[in-house]
Amino acid sequence: MEKMPFQKLQSELEAATVQMKQMLPQEVLDAFEMSIQELRESGVGTGLELGTQAPDFTLIDHTGNEITLSEETAKGPVVLIFYRGGWCPFCNLQLLAYQRIWKDIQAAGGQLIAVSPQTPDQSILLNEKHRFSFLLLSDMHNQTAEKYNLKFRLPDHLHDIYRSLGITLDAFNGDHSWELPVPATFVIDTARIIRAAQADADYKKRMEPAEIIQILNAISS
């Protein structure tokens, strides 16, 4: 039987963007787009380049266990995601899309690790809602995101807007920094070399599932 093509994540993200535009006032949408443009122009949060070695780290997962990247890459390639948090609809779409290809990732010898600055308790709530097959790691204070050149501070003019939408980052992340990672995906081989990378100030853009499987298959071949 011919394998079905992977569902396009970008189509889902675009549909969510249309829905967001229908729900939010134009001034809020303009503020969001301005912040994306400001971040892009700042040169902050561009991520690590292809061919560089991924920095090692040890973080706590949603079950309370310590996870070390070098120990995981010793088992096989790792798809490493940095996402903003369970409050972000675009992050949720990405995580759910990658959940759908979980068995394909395993078949290619890989595994998936998702990192966010939210507290372990928030990761537990997110996992209870979606029952992910992969690990959700808490990068408190964005220390690992900083190693991957992803950390940035949300501009002051967005704080009240986020709060009005019920996004209280201080509660979700357990600090008052208003710092986040630029959403990013890295495919890392067993030598911890980055073989594919995607990081974009525009949180509405993510790496396609088909690209992940293609890279993993190339690594294992």
Each residue's pLDDT tens digit, 166-211: 999 999 999 999 999 999 999 999 999 999 999 999 999 999 999 9
Crossing angle of helices 156-164 and 26-42, rounded to 10°: 140
Distance, CA of 135 to CA of 60 (rounded, Å): 10
Distance, CA of 63 to CA of 85 (rounded, Å): 17
CA 44 vs. chain centroid, Å, equals 16
Q: What is the mean pLDDT of residues 41-46?
A: 95
pTM for the full predicted model: 0.95
Distance, CA of 175 to CA of 155 (rounded, Å): 16
| The pLDDT of residue 5 | 62
C-alpha distances in Å from residue 28, one per residue of 21, 63, 180: 9, 36, 19
Using one digit for the tens of pLDDT, what is the confidence trace for 57-71? 999 998 899 999 999
Q: The dihedral of CA 27, 171, 85, 198: what is its sign?
A: positive
